[in-house]
Amino acid sequence: MQDLGTISPSLEEFRELAGHSRVIPVRLKVLADAETPIGLYRKLAQGQPGTFLMESAAVGGAWSRYSFIGARSRATLTTKDGQAHWLGEPPAGVPVSGSPVDAIRDTIDALRTDRFEGLPPFTSGLVGFLGWETVRHWERLVSPPEDDLQLPEMALNLVTDMAVHDNVDGTVLLIANAINFDNSSERVDEAWHDAVARVKELLARISAPVVQPVSVLAPAALDFASSVQERWDEAEYLAALDRGKEAIVDGEVFQVVISRRFEMECNASALDVYRVLRNTNPSPYMYIFSLADADGREYSIVGSSPEALVTVTGEEVITHPIAGSRPRGKTVEADKALTEELLADQKERAEHLMLVDLSRNDLSKVCVAGTVDVTQFMEVERFSHIMHLVSTVVGRLSPQAKAYDVLKATFPAGTLSGAPKPRALRLLDELEPHRRGIYGGVVGYLDFAGDMDMAIAIRSALIREGRAYVQAGGGIVADSVNPTEALETVNKAAAPLRAVHTAGSLHNISAESLPGGAES
């Protein structure tokens, strides 16, 4: 803790770094062991567009070391009419129109910066989501379904001010990114002083007392199941499953992942939904993003995803295909029986193996030949409402490839499309009546040092204008049983839907509102 209370880098160090880095994290570490990630989010973000909270819990519920709180984003790369569109002030030299995926690649290249040793894994970069429709810029898909939600294809914040909560040592790292917006060598000292002033503002905000609500559930709540609506008629959904199986029998695909959307009223704040979800369904990727589209309509994304699409750390590339599931048992014995049933299910095992092979093929496009390997194969991991078969595929990044190339090679996950991926994507356009939006896309970050961590956007809710939308799917093969597949989508959607419902039943209490107490 020797570095507590010291602004870093110093002005002299900053001048040297400015010669070869367009983004420099000016930072201050403080001991703030009374703070929580939720409390910091309340103080720094307050649900404003361009803010976020990202956390992680290992399987079993143990919290990972870092939580990332985005306090301000000076610009956000999104889309309008299928073209790149910036909200706020984009840096000089980045595309402001044209292909949005090219804009991602070129922005990362333009703001490429040094890796700062000894810092948390994410301090600056583009952070947010890429929706399912992003694939249309990489694959030729000519018949998109109805765009009923009118959601941007992506929204990636250029984060300027943020905090990193260390769950191990109780420190908080306050970061104000000094971004060379005009790409000039002038005003270097001014940039450092501006960043220092923003760090001080962050410190003042986390030091100020705020009312932290204490919440309980209302004694009576509406029935959960009756409050959920299906966007797709049940009979039409089941007919689509049959058409998917016909395509498999005809040899078009080996598997296709058909999804459906559920929706319900959302009377709670996105933060309250997140509070419930992180409590009831802790997962490796948990997040809340507050965003706005090009027309100023605000929306939030709340999720707890168990599955990474891909991570890039230096030269190491990792993906975790998840396929095969069972609901959790109500007792230890029932849970064990369902685990054994899952491991013995030849259909689930064959489906999982196919998707592991697809992951290996995806990584082979961007990794050094001979380095792609399966290090974990078909193990059961358990979450609050569901258990999955999980594998891990790793490789060493090719010298000619960058994180963007890895994203392009792996997006979308085969576990969300089916295989072979190109034909499965076209088949989904024929079978599903509406665009998927965030579902099956990714949530996470690409940093300016070349690393990336992207989760698949599942177990997630889009919250906008008083409604919540949750989508879930299942892999269809030739011998799939329709009622079983339909139930699987319900099980997968349960955690975020229940969180929306429960959050709407929360209310704040105080000691004065409780009955009883000491007699006078």
**Omega within 30 of 0 (cis) for the link into 9:** yes
Partners of 77 in beta bridges = 86, 156
Could you give the angle at the alpha carbon of 395 between the alpha carbons of 394 and 400, nearest 5°? Answer: 150
415 belongs to the catalytic site: yes
- Among 72, 105, 360, 388, which one carries the catalytic annotation? 388
Give the closest residue to 72 by CA, choosing from 165, 158, 190, 174: 158
Quick one: tokens of 173? 């790292």
Q: Which residue has the tokens 């993906």?
A: 319
Q: Which residue has the tokens 């790292």?
A: 173
475 belongs to the catalytic site: yes
Question: Per-residue DSSP letters for 438-457?
Answer: TTTSEEEEEETTS-EEEEE-
Distance CA 362, CA 87 (A): 33
193 belongs to the catalytic site: no
- Among 131, 437, 444, 475, which one carries the catalytic annotation? 475
- Among 42, 459, 498, 501, which one carries the catalytic annotation? 459
- Among 439, 469, 489, 504, which one carries the catalytic annotation? 439
Give the closest residue to 155 by CA, choosing from 349, 291, 318: 291
* Alpha-helix runs per DSSP H in 208-345: 234-249, 270-280, 332-344
- The CA distances from residue 247 to 145, 200, 233, 379, in Å, are 19, 60, 21, 30
Distance CA 113, CA 228 (A): 46
Non-local (6+) Cβ contacts of 187 within 8 A are none
Distance CA 109, CA 9 (A): 23
- Among 123, 415, 489, 502, which one carries the catalytic annotation? 415
439 belongs to the catalytic site: yes
Evaluated on CA atoms 376, 378, 382, 386, the torsion sign reads positive
Give the closest residue to 470 by CA, choosing from 288, 276, 302: 302
Catalytic machinery residues = 388, 415, 439, 459, 475
